[in-house]
Amino acid sequence: MPLALEKSMARAQHPKKEIEVALRHAESRGWRIEAAKGRGHAWGRIYCSHHDSACRAGEFCVISIYCTPRSPSNHATRIRRIVDNCLHRYEILAPVELTEKPPPWNTRSP
């Protein structure tokens, strides 16, 4: 059995399929998923594998996962967006050291 599949089986599945797919996407990028402690609206939290103060302007990469969000597809899109825009995404996908930042998407090229 592949390691990624074993990892996802060790935790409870999210009741909304769109969010479960987004959580598997986060796991494939190295994020850690923890079940919620106690009561409340949160199903759990996901954490970036790098605990760096530069990530997300000092807020670290921590996302609360809601059990019954108003719009599961919007919540899943938000999870995927945060995971894909993590400061450490380049280190996980390609361990090549970046020498300069990529240009912003909204600037014109000279």
For the residues 88-95, what does the mean pLDDT come to? Answer: 51
pLDDT of 2 reads 47
Of 7-21, 64-78, 87-101, the range with the highest mean pLDDT is 64-78
Closest Cα to residue 36, out of 28, 45, 24, 48? 45
CB 87 within 8 A of CB 56: yes
Q: Does 7 score more than 60 pLDDT? A: no
For the residues 83-87, what does the mean pLDDT come to? Answer: 80
Q: What is the pLDDT of residues 19-66, one digit of tens each?
A: 999 999 998 888 889 888 876 778 998 888 776 666 655 556 788 899
